C-alpha cells in the first residue's frame, strides 16, 4: 500500500509592487492573481518579505495580509481585480485576513509564511491572490520587499 505524503512545488515569485508602499489604514497593494486551474495545488504556502524604512513605527505597527479568490476565474473577492494594483479596502472587507506581520522596529526586514487554503475553508480557489496593507506608520523600504509561494500537493510513495 502506498503512503500519501505532502509535497511542495518550486518557489515562485508573486507579482506585487511592494517597494515604497505607504502606511495606510485603508489602502494597500494587490498582487496579480495566481492561476491554479492547471496545477490544482491543494494549498499554497506564501512567504512575504517586508522591510520598513527609517523612522518611528506607529499606528498598529504591522502589515495585514489578505487573500482574495475567484471560483470562476473572473469575479474576485470584494473589489480585487486580479492585477498588481493599488487597492482601497472596503470597510468591512470581504477579503480574508490570512496574516498579521508585526513590524515594531524601523529599518528591519520581517518575514512571514502562511497558508492560503485555510482562508477559504481548506480549498484553494481556481484563481487567488494576496493583498498587503502596510499600517506600521512608515513606508516600506524602496527595495527588498517581495512575496513568493510554493504550491502544496499530495504524492504517493
**Domains of the chain, residue spans:** 15-150
pLDDT, tens digit, for every residue of 57-86? 999 999 999 999 999 989 999 999 999 999
Strands (E), the chain: 4-8, 12-13, 27-30, 34-35, 43-51, 62-70, 85-88, 96-102, 109-115, 127-135, 146-156
Q: Considering only the top CATH level, what class is 15-150?
A: mainly beta
Q: Which of 69, 68, 41, 48 minimizes the C-alpha distance to 151?
A: 41
Cell, residue 139: 513606508
Cross-strand bridge partners of residue 62: 102, 135
Q: pLDDT at position 128, please?
A: 98
- pTM of the predicted protein model: 0.95
pLDDT, tens digit, for every residue of 130-151? 999 999 999 999 999 999 999 9
pLDDT, tens digit, for every residue of 24-39? 999 999 999 999 999 9
pLDDT band (50, 70, 90) for residue 2: confident
Amino acid at each position: 500500500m502506498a503512503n500519501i505524503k505532502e509535497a511542495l512545488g518550486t518557489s515562485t515569485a508573486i507579482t506585487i509592487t511592494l517597494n515604497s508602499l505607504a502606511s495606510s489604514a485603508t489602502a494597500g497593494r494587490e498582487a496579480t492573481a495566481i492561476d491554479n486551474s492547471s496545477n490544482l495545488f491543494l494549498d499554497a504556502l506564501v512567504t512575504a518579505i517586508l522591510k520598513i524604512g527609517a523612522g518611528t513605527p506607529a499606528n498598529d505597527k504591522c502589515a495585514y495580509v489578505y487573500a482574495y479568490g475567484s471560483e470562476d476565474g473572473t469575479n474576485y473577492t470584494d473589489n480585487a481585480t486580479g492585477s498588481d494594483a493599488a487597492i482601497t479596502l472596503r470597510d468591512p472587507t470581504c477579503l480574508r485576513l490570512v496574516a498579521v506581520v508585526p513590524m515594531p522596529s524601523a529599518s528591519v526586514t520581517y518575514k512571514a509564511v502562511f497558508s492560503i487554503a485555510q482562508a477559504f475553508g481548506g480549498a484553494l480557489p481556481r484563481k487567488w491572490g494576496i493583498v498587503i496593507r502596510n499600517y506600521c506608520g512608515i513606508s516600506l523600504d524602496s527595495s527588498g520587499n517581495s512575496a513568493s509561494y510554493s504550491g502544496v500537493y499530495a504524492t504517493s510513495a
